[in-house]
Structure 1
């Protein structure tokens, strides 16, 4: 207890340093614990979104969980009854194991097909219906409405089973309510023929078209008689009066309530159900659309956790430096005390236990507070749309989990080890060693003494060369990197490079200062002379804060360029592939006959009418589309993928694109620098000649065509037009020029795409008129809601539409892009805060420790203004130099490592080609933030310097 009180008193004595250390511990724990929180939150958002898209795009409700089976006739009545009871009980128990709220649960049973005959041969009945099945669905009465009659009751009425049918079934069979029929089983070897009497009493229809109960639409029961489910259970299941043909157990689950921590429960339930049905049924079918989507999240979770850690490596390094610096400052103040304790018999273990206790106390507080701070950070990251860019977006659904506290515990343990390491080094020094070290601070730091800077830099350069070799091999062999997937080492290796370069620069910096001092030693003023001498000699004193500033800025520059490059290349890929903001297909009226009908079953096929080879189309109005809300320009774009180009008896299949040059130039998107001349120059080149075309380089190479040649263009059953080649192109909006591997004659060959671009009017007049697409360019502030609302209200015949903006938004919501943008932004913000407090803490303690020095300088006649100038000069040589180092190192890292991110893009689909992006706005944003931090810190230091009573420091006998 006495030891604890002594430690608490020591902590109170150094309360500002201890609070700074606690601040660093909290941020460290918050950052590390945010990794699993952020991973879970991103995956949760993506999982829910993917399930919603499954319902929107494919019309499948993701919450469907359905099993159906038939049971063999080789079982006895008692055995069948036992199977029904067992399976029903098992499926009913599963509702607590899905991890989702159950909206609907129903059981459907039906008999095999029964021969149907009216009791009264004179009653009306279509000859098309000769057999039906008796079907029962639990709770069916709650989900249908009566069109006529009443719903079947749960008992026999005059010896007949009451049944209901759909309206479509009634019209098709021409039955009348009140008719009675005899339903008889088919003759089978060794089986007794059984018959029952049924009476048609009701006609039903779906109550709500969107009702999840009807996963299989009610109209699909085209040959079913519905009877009461309890009556069916008593007379057909329990007594096994008729052989059951089909049974279905159906759940409609609320997939919006599925949380990631319940995913494993859902998958386990799905696997258990499969095993259970395999045990009782030889043949069964299942439907659970969510399973395939959920299975992908286990791998995504592993990749995302690894990526988050790798992205956070630079910030973790900064936090480690901060913790080490603060712990070192605390230890420096107590080195004399440690040396005295050692000289009086205290063991190194006893002293370290005291520091360990102190670390446990602070680490415990950080463990309690840090995860909550990490949760707060994670919720804010949902608005991240790029590096230091935020948009109006719903906050992430983030919660504290066991993983978060496990990560927090690891961070606390690692931080405690980091904070007691300076004390461990201090316990090795005696009182004599301590006094000798404090007399002259020219010793090398730990990492410089053991050449850790050279080692770290060497590892990073080796990693750089390895990535370059991999990229060279991939491009030389035409290999694909797969879908967009970031290698975590692409963040770890640059972080090591930044750290090694910063430490190496700090190894060389004192020598540069000494060189400057030596060159101008005869001309420097007294203040500059003193500052150069102090900075040159005190190598260890300034290194921590200089590492802070240089690493912060270098990391920010690299993070900004990496995030911008990844985002921009993905965005360019989508824009180029679509060609414009909106591309849509519109239905054209034509004389093309509808698909032939198969006719009724068993009927002879009607002779096929002659189909003309050429169809005639009526062009719909185009002008209204250019006046849609938010549309800036519109263009007609015709494409024919199976056209032919011929010259000198040689021909190739090509894509033919017909455009109006002026309108196309206004709507199409093309990145600069892809071709020898600007995109507009090629449009202007062919604008004056209706027969002018542009051809791809692949066409020019294969057919040996050059500019000025005449070539023939056509397609099957069309006229042939002669065109004049005006230019050769390598890229064009919406066209992928990269070769693709295709199967041909049992071999995989490389297929080179081709394209010819000509005038739409010339193609329509000289070849044929076929439907074209409509490309639209939207205004920058255009509202997509208004655009789609008008399009829907007009009810125009749009058969297909690609929205580039929505595709980009969807891409930015992908988990890996969210992680890159959000975590890089969070990491940089944390590093800025850490650097600011580290900067302020370091210089505040430096000022308080140099009061005597300032007093002597004032006594020597230096004014307060000169003293401020001296402080600014010192900041220029330390903080200013660190900023300059950070700029140089960050830009060097960008040029060396950012190009390697193309390893994470699929080379076959990455068009336009990958390019590194440097945006001046990112640099300005970084410089403004860091500049504001430094200016604010200097203002605070100047204010503190003005409050120091320097005259009290100079007393008789002080020096």
Structure 2
């Protein structure tokens, strides 16, 4: 009791003397506990909201339910009862608490159709059938004709069964004509057995709600199926009819059984996800042991795995940032406890003179003050954190949409933090009790400030730790590590200490350099006319423990404010950019199908352009170009777009290319003037030409490709090229209903044999004198040998074919065309054609290519040459990290393919729409849905960006914590400045009086104080801004990963929220102004004679 009474007396005395420092310490601890409690609660809220978002938005609800499949089990009642009991027991045992409802289903094997007794023909020609039951079927299906089947199964005198069944509407409407009243006959034991089952169709049904979770996304029981070349007819009968009727009669038949368990997802919580994963695995294992080949199908386990990876990824920046802010708070408490310890010198001397031991003194002084400042924080901090967490947004939506319980965890954490603070107070007191009376007296002299003897060793350990952790982070590529098995991510908590150690090392380095810098500048100013200013800087170097400590505090607070604003903004922007990159256009219409005649690309484009809100329409064609390079075969992801209209709808970031998008696309807009086509007379019926191979090329056929007015191609075979020398080849121009004359000549080519032994490796052929037959007359086409327009058909290989105009190739006249090849013509087309597009096709490609690089590959079976005109780093919807990508002009690509003799048609896969500036997006979406009739995928870029930002596990979840951390940091900085002002006023009173006595005016003193405070804030803000920028760039490069552990596309762009940064700077500047103003007021009250007697 005596000790408690003495501690109470000393604590009361300390409150009177150092109430300012105690209030600052209590406020700092309260801020720290509040921040930690709010982060813990917000993390739990984020996890719960993220789980709900993941299950609702990213996964099909029906796929999450459990679907149990047990094949090849007997149909007999006893076997079914045992099977049902065992499966139901397993469901109840492992996931019973999660199941909302469940029902059973079963079906027989396929039964062939048997003939009627009066006929030899099967009752269902070309079709087999199976009967099935499903509990609740008639509750979820609507009878469109007839009535429900009876549960009773009858047996005739021959032992044949008679059952009633219903069929799906599509089955009834088919050519099988299975309408109510019709009977079909099934052979359960095969067609060679006399046993039959008569099935009477009594009703027709369709699903009431096709989207109902009851159906588990499977409506096949309402439709005809197929097994090889035979149709399969599903027939619904009640369970009793199948099990107690057919199963009892034929217990040896093997059935196919299913259990459908619908889950109550509201019972899912982050804390029980591991239990669910184990239960799911145990359920399948249990069923497999009892019934081999059984399956427990559910997407829930994969959804949980994906969610856990996303949660781990989201927690890294959250815990990293919070730990850094907490570290700053601890540093502030170190400054305060150090200042409080210095103010206990008289009490320590008094207790030591009374014979108290070091432990007793430290406990009496530190425990009382520690309890005084810690208990309010331990109680109020968790409550404040709980209240604030309810105001923080969770992924773009207020957290009030999620229930936030108040648990004991924040109070436990608050208690631990309070114990740590009490330990700090006791330790600081214990450190002072080891000093002698003379040493305690010398600490009041600003020129004899003690330095920690262990500080050099501590600094060395910190710098070694920074190097070690940096090396670990660099070696592992970040704070996350890939699991050895699977594709998940693990967070290495030890690596999260890296940024904190870097801040600590920076603070230690600055605290070493600043006193030396101030002392050097002060000495230089003393030699000049501003000796009084030099005295002020020299004074700062003498009082460096408090001045440098506060400068470091402002520096790290500002650095973390910059880091926090950059972290939140960059991650949130990156999430949005990933969505924009994936979609590409402002509005994307893809997979557009039509119920009637297929629409052409031009028709689809015109229909889209007719929507009032649409400004531009860009068809996009995608394909894979197979290239055989020197290092092996590889695929190039190819996109063909309209470069003129794509710019108006495409999202493109400046770092995607070294040039602007318009400049990049300009390389695709090469103009070409193809030669005038060689038009044939409308009434032409024959086409011939003279050819001269240098040597015979048997097994090689000569062809001419013609084009009609609509661009459709037709190939005319002229014959096989046998012997060398000039020979005339001729073929009839076919009459086709789909071709519209007049025709024009598009290509002249040779087709080679399929086998290498018959293919000539190299050869030359001369072509001249194309003639046209009109009735009985023939005449030559002029202009065939014009010097421009004919190109060699592209090929895949190392040697290109050559087309040249040569006098020696003329059959008559002055000149002819010579076509030469140096690689065998094997199973492909080689020759000359009129190229309507620039060849090779101009393209822009990813950085794996070089400008001017020629690429020749196959797409759709046709050789396609491209030349890379420009390089980009990234391009929306294309992923260079997965392989080479390239973009070509859609008009060039289509023109080129349409000019090839045997190229198949390729239609665009999607359309990018650019909307008008005043477009109403909901109206545009409604118009698109009405136009496509629900037969197309419609994606609005900014709508999906908004949805992505609502994901609680995205970067947006850091918004609230960033604001809370900013408040904490600025509160700590403000308290630090107040503490500094408090200490400065108390310790500098006699020094100010001495300076006034020596002749300095109060205005000069005010200037000295202002310079001191401006240096304090300015140096802290400047160094903090630089440190925050460096820290942001260093840390964010390791957070630029997806939940699968791969780098995100596009790469994260460093973005700083100016509002947060400006508020941080403003708070420091404002606090500096306040303490400067307070010090000015204090200086007006100084009396020289009183100040000089203050220390006596």
TM superposition shift of 1:23:
3.0
* Counterpart selection for 1:370 from 371, 377, 381: 381
8 Å CA contact 1:312–1:824 kept in 2: the answer is no
TM superposition shift of 1:807:
5.8
The answer to whether structure 1 residue 876 and structure 2 residue 858 are counterparts is no
The residue number in structure 2 matching 1:599 is none
* Structure 1 gaps, min length 5: 386-390, 473-480, 594-615, 741-750
The residue number in structure 2 matching 1:763 is 895
8 Å CA contact 1:24–1:834 kept in 2: the answer is yes
SS of residue matched to 1:774? strand
TM superposition shift of 1:765:
9.7
* Counterpart selection for 2:511 from 506, 509, 525: 506
* Structure 2 gaps, min length 5: 224-232, 479-485, 673-836
* Counterparts of residues 660-809 of structure 1 (less than 5 Å): 660-672=642-654, 677-684=659-666, 687=669, 689-690=671-672, 694-696=842-844, 727-731=869-873, 733-734=875-876, 738=880, 752-753=884-885, 755-757=887-889, 760=892, 763=895, 767=899, 770-772=906-908, 773-777=910-914, 784-795=921-932, 799-800=936-937, 804-805=941-942, 808=945
For 2:113 and 2:409, locate their aligned partners in 1 and report how far apart those are by CA, in whole Å. Answer: 63
For 1:174 and 1:726, locate their aligned partners in 2 and report how far apart those are by CA, in whole Å. Answer: 61
For 1:526 and 1:427, locate their aligned partners in 2 and report how far apart those are by CA, in whole Å. Answer: 39
- Deviations 1:785-839 (Å, cap 9, x if unpaired)? 4442332133378745565445655665473635666655543442222222232
For 1:712 and 1:401, locate their aligned partners in 2 and report how far apart those are by CA, in whole Å. Answer: 66
For 1:188 and 1:797, locate their aligned partners in 2 and report how far apart those are by CA, in whole Å. Answer: 46
- Deviations 1:839-872 (Å, cap 9, x if unpaired)? 2344245435656666777788877766554432
8 Å CA contact 1:643–1:655 kept in 2: the answer is no
TM superposition shift of 1:318:
0.2
The residue number in structure 1 matching 2:754 is none
The residue number in structure 2 matching 1:744 is none
For 2:6 and 2:916, locate their aligned partners in 1 and report how far apart those are by CA, in whole Å. Answer: 70
- Deviations 1:745-768 (Å, cap 9, x if unpaired)? xxxxxx755555575498379747
- Deviations 1:662-712 (Å, cap 9, x if unpaired)? 434444444446656544335446657345664457999899769xxxx99
8 Å CA contact 1:104–1:212 kept in 2: the answer is no
Task: Give TM-score scaled by structure 2 length.
Answer: 0.68
- Deviations 1:702-729 (Å, cap 9, x if unpaired)? 99769xxxx99996687999x9x79443
* Counterparts of residues 844-855 of structure 1 (less than 5 Å): 844=982, 846-847=984-985
Label 1:732 to 1:88 Cα distance change in 2 as closer, same or farther (>3 A): closer
TM superposition shift of 1:61:
1.4
For 1:158 and 1:898, locate their aligned partners in 2 and report how far apart those are by CA, in whole Å. Answer: 77
SS of residue matched to 2:356? coil
- Deviations 1:337-373 (Å, cap 9, x if unpaired)? 1332233222333344443465457545434443444
The residue number in structure 1 matching 2:787 is none
Label 1:107 to 1:359 Cα distance change in 2 as closer, same or farther (>3 A): farther
The answer to whether structure 1 residue 553 and structure 2 residue 543 are counterparts is no
SS of residue matched to 1:517? helix
SS of residue matched to 1:61? helix
TM superposition shift of 1:183:
8.3
Bigger shift: residues 196-205 or 362-371: 196-205
The residue number in structure 2 matching 1:210 is 211
Label 1:873 to 1:867 Cα distance change in 2 as closer, same or farther (>3 A): same
For 1:766 and 1:633, locate their aligned partners in 2 and report how far apart those are by CA, in whole Å. Answer: 25
Bigger shift: residues 935-944 or 756-765: 756-765
Instruction: Let me know the Cα RMSD of the aligned residues.
Output: 5.3
8 Å CA contact 1:574–1:804 kept in 2: the answer is yes
8 Å CA contact 1:94–1:269 kept in 2: the answer is yes
The answer to whether structure 1 residue 827 and structure 2 residue 827 are counterparts is no
* Counterparts of residues 174-213 of structure 1 (less than 5 Å): 174=177, 186=189, 203-213=204-214
TM superposition shift of 1:106:
1.8
The residue number in structure 1 matching 2:625 is 642
The answer to whether structure 1 residue 105 and structure 2 residue 102 are counterparts is yes
The residue number in structure 1 matching 2:458 is 452
8 Å CA contact 2:466–2:501 kept in 1: the answer is yes
For 1:420 and 1:779, locate their aligned partners in 2 and report how far apart those are by CA, in whole Å. Answer: 69
8 Å CA contact 2:843–2:889 kept in 1: the answer is yes
SS of residue matched to 1:429? coil
Greater per-residue helix proportion: 1
8 Å CA contact 1:36–1:305 kept in 2: the answer is no
8 Å CA contact 1:635–1:776 kept in 2: the answer is yes
Label 1:430 to 1:318 Cα distance change in 2 as closer, same or farther (>3 A): same
SS of residue matched to 1:97? helix
The residue number in structure 2 matching 1:497 is 502
For 1:943 and 1:793, locate their aligned partners in 2 and report how far apart those are by CA, in whole Å. Answer: 70
For 1:364 and 1:237, locate their aligned partners in 2 and report how far apart those are by CA, in whole Å. Answer: 75
For 1:700 and 1:538, locate their aligned partners in 2 and report how far apart those are by CA, in whole Å. Answer: 59
The residue number in structure 2 matching 1:475 is none
Of structures 1 and 2, the larger Rg is shown by 2
The residue number in structure 2 matching 1:596 is none
Label 1:421 to 1:544 Cα distance change in 2 as closer, same or farther (>3 A): farther
SS of residue matched to 1:620? helix
For 1:280 and 1:726, locate their aligned partners in 2 and report how far apart those are by CA, in whole Å. Answer: 62
* Counterpart selection for 2:427 from 416, 421, 426: 421
The residue number in structure 1 matching 2:166 is 165
* Matched residue count: 892
For 2:489 and 2:337, locate their aligned partners in 1 and report how far apart those are by CA, in whole Å. Answer: 42
The answer to whether structure 1 residue 251 and structure 2 residue 261 are counterparts is yes
Label 1:703 to 1:182 Cα distance change in 2 as closer, same or farther (>3 A): closer
* Counterparts of residues 185-334 of structure 1 (less than 5 Å): 186=189, 203-215=204-216, 217=218, 220=221, 226=236, 245-298=255-308, 305=315, 308-334=318-344
TM superposition shift of 1:403:
5.8
- Deviations 1:911-938 (Å, cap 9, x if unpaired)? 66x587465x63x742443223431453
Bigger shift: residues 322-331 or 486-495: 486-495
The residue number in structure 1 matching 2:815 is none
For 1:703 and 1:582, locate their aligned partners in 2 and report how far apart those are by CA, in whole Å. Answer: 32
8 Å CA contact 2:637–2:884 kept in 1: the answer is no
For 1:447 and 1:639, locate their aligned partners in 2 and report how far apart those are by CA, in whole Å. Answer: 70
TM superposition shift of 1:320:
0.9
8 Å CA contact 2:166–2:205 kept in 1: the answer is yes
SS of residue matched to 1:881? helix
The answer to whether structure 1 residue 382 and structure 2 residue 363 are counterparts is no
Bigger shift: residues 672-681 or 45-54: 672-681
* Counterpart selection for 1:942 from 1056, 1077, 1083: 1077
For 1:758 and 1:131, locate their aligned partners in 2 and report how far apart those are by CA, in whole Å. Answer: 49
SS of residue matched to 2:258? strand
The answer to whether structure 1 residue 88 and structure 2 residue 82 are counterparts is no
The residue number in structure 2 matching 1:143 is 140
Label 1:523 to 1:266 Cα distance change in 2 as closer, same or farther (>3 A): same
TM superposition shift of 1:336:
2.0
8 Å CA contact 1:138–1:229 kept in 2: the answer is yes
The residue number in structure 2 matching 1:69 is 70
The residue number in structure 1 matching 2:522 is 517
Label 1:257 to 1:803 Cα distance change in 2 as closer, same or farther (>3 A): farther
For 2:471 and 2:186, locate their aligned partners in 1 and report how far apart those are by CA, in whole Å. Answer: 80
Label 1:236 to 1:689 Cα distance change in 2 as closer, same or farther (>3 A): closer
SS of residue matched to 2:355? coil
